[in-house]
Amino acid sequence: MLSLGGAYGNYRLASKKDARIVATHIWNTYLAGESPDRPLGNAALDGIDFDIERGSRFYWDDLARYLNAYSTPERKIYLSAAPQCPMPDYYLQAAIDTGLFDYVWVQFYDNYCEFSPNNVGTFLQAWNQWTSTSVSKVFLGLPASPEAAGSGYVTPDDLINTVLPFVKSSPKYGGVMLWSRYYDVRNGYSPQVNDSVNCLPASSLDLLQLELSAEWNICQMEEQFILRVPPSVAERIERLLNENASSSLDGSLDVSFSEDGRSGTFMIGDERFPASLLDLPCIVESYKTYDDNVLIKTADVGQMIMVRDEGDAAVEGVEYKHGLTPPMRDARRRRFRREPDLNPEVVQRVEKDLLNIMSGGTVENVETVVPEAGGQRKKNAPVAAPKPDEVHVKSAGGEPERSDSDDSLEPES
């Protein structure tokens, strides 16, 4: 692989055309093309790695498309990238989102999502985000020694016993990337990891992964639903959870549904309650925490099993329109309520009157109601707005001169 970019230098792609020119140059000079100037002679590299850390973030996706266009069934051009672990990566996210990259070695160091005993939750969340992208394989990028990076160094023991059992549970796990070969040779990092993993019998290694994954999988996405029960049933469930199930009178919980998948029966102990599977008016997100510090999303909940006492009426339809909390009462109807029908002429006239008021004028065609003696009300005639070309000039006495139309503005006696 030939790696492009790096942390030093001044480089960028100026346009889509520029990306095509660079792709052609790379193909002819380093891949399987032809050029009189080939630094590696007839040797053809297998692909290109994107390590973009400077310059502009534009047109790298175009370069990936142009390079991928050279792939054939006989000879594939491999593409890889080395983004920082916080998503989205500023420089490379658009290129990675093309789905053309075979390998992504994510740098889990020198940033906030690196692994440490006090940062497990953030690390797990970042790894799950990367393994949910469209890339084929994701590599865990680590520094090979404490001197190789400012932070993020993971000891071989921690990597073997704590980190690898989790990351290897993903089908997109590709391996571990170390920065760099120089520090790896000095620290002897990779031999320690390879020897330690290889010396375990297969059964022991599988057992180790199984034991640790049971603890770490609490941060995986799950399928969840909400169970709503009457208060008396809730007390029994809480008692069952807090006691030994074998010694409790309510020794079992179960729910079954009829063929329609919506109506069913909820059982606690020997007692049965009618139940309904209802859709919620909106998605409810569920979160867990591994370290009482970082919350990690684990599910999108869209349905609820509502248990009711015998004799209570079932909810009509398949949706529980009031949600889970009082502020969500009839939320869908209120959110998508019909806008009132307004006459466009009325709206235009009101806007015009507001502009007149803001400019110091009056409102046209407004009927005012003046109370009379005895509680009777009298409607005044409509008030006329001043003419646009009307100008008030202040006289020497300090009072503005009146026009003929000013008399119409006097209140009726």
Q: Are 222 and 298 in contact (CB under 8 A)?
A: yes
- Interatomic CA distance for residues 220 and 202, integer angstroms: 25
Lookup: tokens for 208: 């180790």
b/e 325-335 (16+ beta carbons within 10 angstroms → b): eeebeebeeee
Per annotation, catalytic residue among 34, 53, 367, 410: 53
Sign of CA dihedral 192, 195, 199, 201: positive
Whether 53 is catalytic is yes
> Order of strands, edge to edge, in the sheet holding 295-307?
226-228, 295-307, 271-289, 263-268, 253-257
- 3-state secondary structure (DSSP) of residue 6: strand
SS3 at position 137: strand
Instruction: Answer yes or no: are the C-beta atoms of 138 and 130 closer than 8 Å.
Output: yes
Nearest to 261 by CA among 272, 274, 277: 277
Quote the DSSP letter at residue 381. Answer: P
CB-side exposure of 157: number of CA atoms within 13 Å? 1
Spatial contact of 336 and 321, defined as CB atoms under 8 Å apart: no
What Rg value do the Cα atoms of the chain yield, rounded? 36
Read off φ and ψ for residue 18, nearest 5 degrees: -60, -40
**C-alpha atoms less than 13 angstroms from C-alpha of 278 in its C-beta half-sphere:** 23
Alpha helices in 141-292 (DSSP H): 156-158, 164-167, 181-187, 189-198, 202-216, 231-242
Choose among 315, 323, 316: nearest CA to 283: 323
| Alpha carbons 412 and 77: distance in angstroms, whole number | 91
Vertex 125 angle, CA 121 and 130, to 5°: 150
Question: Do 127 and 167 meet the contact criterion of CB atoms below 8 Å apart?
Answer: yes
Q: Which residues are catalytic?
A: 53
